[in-house]
Amino acid sequence: MNGQLISFEGLDGVGKSTQIDLLQQALTSRGMEVISLREPGGTSAGESLRSLIKAGTFHSSLAELLAFETARAELVSELVRPALARGAWVLLDRFADSSLAYQGALGQLDMELIRQLNTIATGGLKPELTVLLALDPMQALLRRRGAKKPAAGGGNAESTELDSIEQRDTVYFSRVHEIFSELARAEPQRFHVLDASQDVEAIHRQVMERVQEMQGGQHG
């Protein structure tokens, strides 16, 4: 069986990591090799760039975008392509669509430039399936801020702080949400849009239904 690439997209707080964990468990239980990765991150260079991005190190939109693309290029060449070549399924918490949505929403960079840099960084690699977890931006923000509250008895202070991107205003996140919706409408065969306000298990069932369709197509 060929390896498959599945990306999960959406605003922070929509439950991407939870759905990735559930899908990984389900596929692994069937004897499949599954690896989950996040963007930016996954490699030592990617994790270093992630820390710099979240700290607000880059003050221009172009510099921030190039940092994301550098991390992406490293992730694809070092981990994603080798895994796909050996038949593994790769689950990505964000991929190139996030650059179009998040960097595009700033309104300072041409969308075609972002697309070109995405293509260069990925070598033209696209997911077979992109699960877009859609949620009202205000609901997503409330979820995210709730998740960032310190647990009783203290905890890791770093994990309770909003990073430089999370601190942007609601107008920005509304635009991010709009761009994700536009991308999904432009590629309906690749995108599977799910209502992220549903309960976790309901979303997981719908993800599994689509993944089973993919598996059936491989055997066809």
Domain locations in the chain as residue ranges: 4-219
Residue 190 has pLDDT above 80, yes or no: yes
Residue 162 has pLDDT above 80, yes or no: no
pLDDT digits (tens, 9 = 90+) for 61-73: 999 999 999 999 9
pLDDT band at 175 (very low <50, low <70, confident <90, very high): very high
Q: Does the bond joining 127 to the residue before it have cis omega, within 30 degrees of 0?
A: no
Residue 214 has pLDDT above 70, yes or no: yes
| CATH fold of 4-219 | Rossmann fold (3.40.50)
Mean pLDDT for the stretch of residues 6-17? 98
Strands 34-38 and 89-93 turn out to be: parallel
Contacts of 66 (CB under 8 A, 6+ apart): 117
Sheet of 89-93: strand order equals 34-38, 89-93, 4-9, 129-134, 191-195
At 123 the pLDDT is 98
At 155 the pLDDT is 47
pLDDT digits (tens, 9 = 90+) for 33-46: 999 999 999 999 99
At 201 the pLDDT is 99
At 220 the pLDDT is 43
Measured distance CA(197)–CA(176) in Å, rounded: 18
Mean pLDDT for the stretch of residues 85-102? 98
Residue 147 has pLDDT above 90, yes or no: no
At 146 the pLDDT is 81
Enumerate the β-bridge partners of residue 168. Answer: none
